[in-house]
Amino acid sequence: MKNDYPAYREKHCRTHNSEHEPGKKIMFIFFLLLISPLLAQDADMELNEEEYFEVPGVNILAFSNWYNGLFSDSKISGIEIIHHGDRTATNGDVRLHATPEQWDAIPTFSERKVDQANARIDTYQEYPDYNFKYMVRAEAKGDGVLLSVHLEEAVPEALVGKAGLNLEFIPSAYWEKTYYMDGNADIFPLYPSSDMQQDNTGYTSPKPMATGQKLVLAPEDPERRVTITSEDAELMLHDGRDKAQNGWFVVRSLIPEGETGKVLEWFISANAIPGWTRRPVIAHSQVGYHPNQQKVAVIELDKNAIPEQSATLQKISEEGEKIDVQTGELSKWGQYTRYNYFHYDFSEVREPGTYVISYGEETTAPFRIGENIYEDAWHPTNDIYFPVQMDHMLINEAYRVWHGASHLDDALQAPVDHEHFDLYAQGPTTDTQYEPGEHIPGLNIGGWYDAGDYDIRTQTQYHVVLNLAHAFEDFNLQRDQTLVDYDAKYVDIHNPDGKPDILQQVEHGTLALIAQHRAVGHAIPGIIVPDISQYTHLGDGLTMTDNLIYDQSMDSLESDGYRSGKFDDRWAFTSKSTPLNYGSIAALAAASRVLKGYNDSLAQESLNTAQKVWEEEQANEPDLFHHGNTTGGTLEDEELKAAVELLIATKDQKYAGRIAAMWPVIDADFASHAGRVTRVLPYMNNSFRQKLRERTRAYQTELDAYYEENPFGVPIGRGGWAGNGQVVEFAMNNYLLHKAFPDLIDREYVFKGLNYIYGTHPDSSISFVSGVGTRSKKVAYGMNRADFSFIAGGVVPGVLILKPDFPENREDWPFLWGENEYVVNVGSSYIYLVNAVNFLLNE
């Protein structure tokens, strides 16, 4: 971007520059201090061009975002409050429970009408199962928003006493704070302990902590003080954590019976601190920088902040002294989302040591410059995270057991024509020799917990095996810190056993994949618990099942030591999918190469299976059963994957011919396939190599476009799941293209992806890899999320950009899975990327 900083400075600082006499300056400042409370009182809520309500320091969104289509309620919808830079309230909407859980009923969206002239937003929705339609109106009034519910027909009888207007407040913003309800004071509880009640259906819910018509939250804290009043409706304050650990504090009013028109109204006012601006963020790598790479920090500023002209790099001596090394002018990038961005380039500094960056009154955490900074940055992911995620094994670390050997009773055949709540589905047949509910033997081996839950999602498993196999092939990763004993089903962290950890993990994933082909003859979508009560389990995976095979002929408490009548076994979803089959054999082919000489029998079986399945799929019409994200990618993408890995494994030119014929697929989605295809260049003809080179030249322009799109130079996603996985894959792809065509693809396109993960990103400068870098994710969505803890080496999804313009990654609330859930495939991609960067900088 063009550096127009001087013009920006002149425009925004003219008043200050015109005051030359010290006395006048003091009087002017004193005058501003005197009138600022009056200005704050006169600041009326406005509906801005981005279609949300705003006064400085407070934003109130009205259905800018919608409930996530994949997993129902993801806490990003309805009326939301962004209060002094933090989103503190969400889900302001009509709901059917006082404290809704994630899979409770949500309405369907019909229409959102924005009336700029009257500063009003009307949103039309319905619960079709009850034929219940309503409209929520948000309208600016004074320093707040009038929120009302409107009905054309009275609330259905079935929803009387159930349908109500809710607004949820995140507990971490109100812990250790107080509230008033109609003048009666109390404290927000650190841990839930409400009185519970049960209705005539057996459903339990927390009783209100307080009721009344005027609620003031955090009166003592000007950053968090919110007032909600209602002239007619009763306000009830509930603690949603009594129903689920991811629950929020909920303010609620029931919709009155038999009324139409405007049936309920609240006035919401959030306190705005006069003159408030968000503190600057100095986004930089928490791990640090190699002397030979570019070093650019990104300064993120509130749109109302007056920027400083420069930033300073300081070196920290052994005595703790901060020594100025470089002061450099900032280069203005411009506005991205709601913030203004500037670059501070200190690439010329190469001397090893510990440094900080100072900008105005902000100073970063210390970081290093050194040649070895990336050598061990992947170790926590290798040493801790992947062992912890291993299914079917007991995981021990010194005095701690992470979890027992779980799901040894895997798995029961899933019922036909069944759609699961977590993106799995079984088609009209089982596509196996097993009847619904019958035990499928041999599936109780290998695999990793997919994420913060306990399913074995095949598409994730083969992604991990591919990445780890490539990492071992390309970088010869011989690190050994973990003992794996399959006979004892025992893993011991920090206990070397003489075997490379990466190969042990490749073996673990391969065992899960090959078990599917052994058991049913093809890859299956995955294995998962049948019931939500199991799925929401927080704790040791061993306690989810009795590890005994379910026998429906037995009583629920009966057992013979091998089988039991307790229905707690996971289901295997087995519908055949050709794309899934291709993805699976791609991983098996890659694994066969690295397991040779380590586990020869598994290596040979994997290659034989991959070749056999390829021939079968090529000879028959594809099975295109598709559901959610569990049945593979597109047919063409997965077939290309398989052809590439089989060509490398066998050198058979029939695979080269198929790859050449799939050039249109490569060309259409070059960013996804280019790096993969560079691996087979030694086996392709000159025509193919030249086409790939010319397409890479055009891809250069696509890379440059990212520097115009955002100040970080990487693809930042805008979906309901944040985009760290996309950023890592982008950087990996650029590494492989750089290796193939170093004159076309600069290595900085690789470094920027890793720098983003390590802290050079919007919203904060935290490292998104737990335990890596000076300041990293310490509160994340792993299996231990209820403890507000982390798993070292886990990589979270990162910054979620809520519409229209709010980047968010909360470090005080682990349950926002779209921002904070560890996923094993991103962990494996990260291991590859760190070693790629280290190789480039030290080759």
In this structure, what DSSP letter does residue 286 have? S
Query: What is the structure's pLDDT at 807?
Result: 98
Q: What is the pLDDT of residues 230-260, one digit of tens each?
A: 999 999 999 999 999 999 999 999 999 999 9
User: Which 3 state secondary structure label does DSSP give 524?
Assistant: coil
Cα 449 to chain center, whole Å? 16
Q: Mean of the pLDDT values across residues 19-32? A: 41
Residues 6+ apart with CB under 8 A from 790: 770, 771, 777, 778, 779, 780, 782, 784
Encoding tokens for residue 526?
């995955």
The widest CA-to-CA distance across the chain, in whole angstroms, is 93
The continuous run of DSSP H or E covering 650 comes out as helix 635-650
Residue 42's pLDDT band (boundaries 50, 70, 90)?
Answer: low
Query: What is the structure's pLDDT at 69?
Result: 65
**Cα–Cα distance, 830 to 793 (Å, whole number):** 9
The continuous run of DSSP H or E covering 328 comes out as strand 322-329
**Cα–Cα distance, 700 to 693 (Å, whole number):** 11
Name the pTM for this structure.
0.94
Query: Is residue 161 within 8 Å of 254, Cβ to Cβ?
Result: yes
E-assigned strand segments in 467-593: 482-485, 490-493, 526-528, 549-550, 563-564, 571-573
Whole-number average pLDDT of the chain: 94
Nearest to 831 by CA among 507, 518, 386, 499: 386
Query: Which residues face 228 on adjacent strands?
Result: 215, 268
Order of strands across the sheet with 296-301? 281-283, 296-301, 339-345, 331-336
Cis peptide before 807 (omega within 30 of 0): no
Residue 43's pLDDT band (boundaries 50, 70, 90)?
Answer: confident
The continuous run of DSSP H or E covering 164 comes out as strand 164-169
CA angle 728, 733, 735 (to 5 degrees): 95
Query: What is the structure's pLDDT at 35?
Result: 42
Q: What is the pLDDT of residues 486-509, one digit of tens each?
A: 999 999 999 999 999 999 999 999
**Cα–Cα distance, 270 to 620 (Å, whole number):** 63
Helices (H) and strands (E) in the chain, counts: 19, 44
Residues 6+ apart with CB under 8 A from 370: 288, 290, 291, 352, 353
CB pairs under 8 A, 24+ apart, for 46-55?
A: 46/119, 46/140, 47/114, 47/116, 47/119, 47/120, 47/121, 47/140, 50/804, 50/805, 51/114, 51/121, 51/804, 52/804, 53/119, 53/138, 53/140, 53/145, 55/143, 55/272
384-388, 679-683, 706-710: the lowest-pLDDT one: 706-710
Query: Is residue 251 within 8 Å of 235, Cβ to Cβ?
Result: yes
User: Which 3 state secondary structure label does DSSP give 636?
Assistant: helix
Strand 204-206, strand 196-198: pairing: antiparallel
Encoding tokens for residue 736?
């492989």
pLDDT of residue 39 exceeding 50:
no
Q: What is the pLDDT of residues 557-575, one digit of tens each?
A: 999 999 999 999 999 999 9
**Cα–Cα distance, 413 to 426 (Å, whole number):** 10
**Cα–Cα distance, 727 to 722 (Å, whole number):** 10
Query: What is the structure's pLDDT at 376?
Result: 97
Query: Is residue 206 within 8 Å of 98, Cβ to Cβ?
Result: yes
Amino acid letter for position 594: V
Give the C-alpha distances (Å, rounded to integers) separating 250 from 55, 168, 221, 238, 242: 24, 4, 19, 5, 11
- With a pLDDT cut of 70, the percent of the chain lying above it is 95
The continuous run of DSSP H or E covering 461 comes out as helix 458-475
Place of tokens 């077939």: 639
In this structure, what DSSP letter does residue 456 have? E
Q: Mean of the pLDDT values across residues 153-160? A: 97
E-assigned strand segments in 605-735: none
pLDDT of residue 32 exceeding 70:
no
Query: Is residue 520 within 8 Å of 433, Cβ to Cβ?
Result: yes
Residue 98's pLDDT band (boundaries 50, 70, 90)?
Answer: very high
Encoding tokens for residue 836?
């790629």
Query: What is the structure's pLDDT at 71?
Result: 74
Nearest to 514 by CA among 595, 437, 571: 595
Query: Is residue 513 within 8 Å of 461, Cβ to Cβ?
Result: yes
User: Which 3 state secondary structure label does DSSP give 457?
Assistant: strand
Query: What is the structure's pLDDT at 25?
Result: 41
Amino acid letter for position 547: N
pLDDT of residue 36 exceeding 80:
no
Cα 54 to chain center, whole Å? 28
**Cα–Cα distance, 281 to 808 (Å, whole number):** 13
Q: Mean of the pLDDT values across residues 125-144? A: 97
CA atoms within 13 A on the CB side of 66: 11
pLDDT of residue 6 exceeding 70:
no
The continuous run of DSSP H or E covering 204 comes out as strand 204-206
In this structure, what DSSP letter does residue 673 have? H
pLDDT of residue 73 exceeding 90:
no
Query: What is the structure's pLDDT at 70?
Result: 65
Q: What is the pLDDT of residues 733-758, one digit of tens each?
A: 999 999 999 999 999 999 999 999 99
Cα 25 to chain center, whole Å? 48
**Cα–Cα distance, 137 to 151 (Å, whole number):** 11
Strand 214-217, strand 196-198: pairing: unpaired
Q: Mean of the pLDDT values across residues 291-305? A: 97
Nearest to 612 by CA among 637, 588, 638, 640: 588
Place of tokens 């409050």: 81
